[in-house]
């Protein structure tokens, strides 16, 4: 039996995690700059969020120089996995396929994406 870990980043934390997953090592300012491309936010707000994420163990930070360097501690795949599973249960009564169809019906994937998914499905079937 594996140890149960609660992976439950808030929405703001997820925004930041996505940036950290992308860019590996970031200062608060790095993150803040990306964040404010989309929406308004004060610098100390971003700072505070990242400090809280550190308390929670979502990120690690290197404090050896004045400007701290952050990186994600939680695994991208595992986190995504966890969140998708929760949504399947919470919103789709446990039916993965229903969610998949809902996602594809709406979100207009490109032909390449659709082909990739088909390929993936074939691989799954032949295992």
SS3 call for 126: coil
Q: Which residues bind DNA (CB under 7 A)?
A: 8, 10-13, 27-29, 40-45, 47-49, 51-52, 63, 65-68
Q: How far is residue 33's CA from residue 29's CA, in Å, rounded to a whole number?
A: 6
**Dihedral of CA 50/54/58/63: which sign?**
positive
Question: Minimum distance from CB of 3 to a second copy (Å)?
Answer: 18
Nearer Cβ to DNA (8/25):
8
Please say whether the beta carbons of 7 and 72 come within 8 A: no
The yes or no reply on residue 117 touching a second copy (CB under 8 A) is: yes
Beta strands in 16-100, from DSSP E residues, in sequence order = 59-62, 69-72
Question: Which partner, DNA, a second copy, none, binds residue 18 by CB below 5 to 8 Å per kind?
Answer: a second copy
Question: Which partner, DNA, a second copy, none, binds residue 78 by CB below 5 to 8 Å per kind?
Answer: none
Q: How far is residue 50's CA from residue 16's CA, in Å, rounded to a whole number?
A: 8
Q: Which residue ranges make up the site for a second copy (CB under 8 A)?
A: 11, 14-15, 18, 77, 79-81, 83-85, 87-88, 90-93, 95-97, 99-109, 111, 113-114, 116-118, 120-121, 124-125
């Amino acid at each position: 039996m594996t140890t149960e870990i609660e992976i439950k980043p808030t929405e703001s934390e997820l925004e930041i995690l996505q940036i950290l997953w992308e860019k590996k090592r970031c200062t608060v300012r790095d993150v803040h700059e990306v964040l404010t491309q989309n929406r308004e936010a004060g610098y100390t707000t971003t700072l505070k969020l990242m400090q809280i994420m550190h308390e929670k163990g979502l990120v690690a930070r290197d404090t050896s120089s004045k400007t701290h360097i952050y990186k994600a501690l939680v695994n991208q795949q595992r986190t995504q996995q966890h969140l998708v599973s929760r949504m399947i249960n919470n919103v789709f009564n446990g039916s993965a396929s229903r969610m998949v169809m809902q996602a594809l019906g709406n979100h207009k994937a490109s032909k390449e994406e659709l082909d990739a998914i088909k390929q993936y499905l074939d691989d799954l079937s032949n295992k």
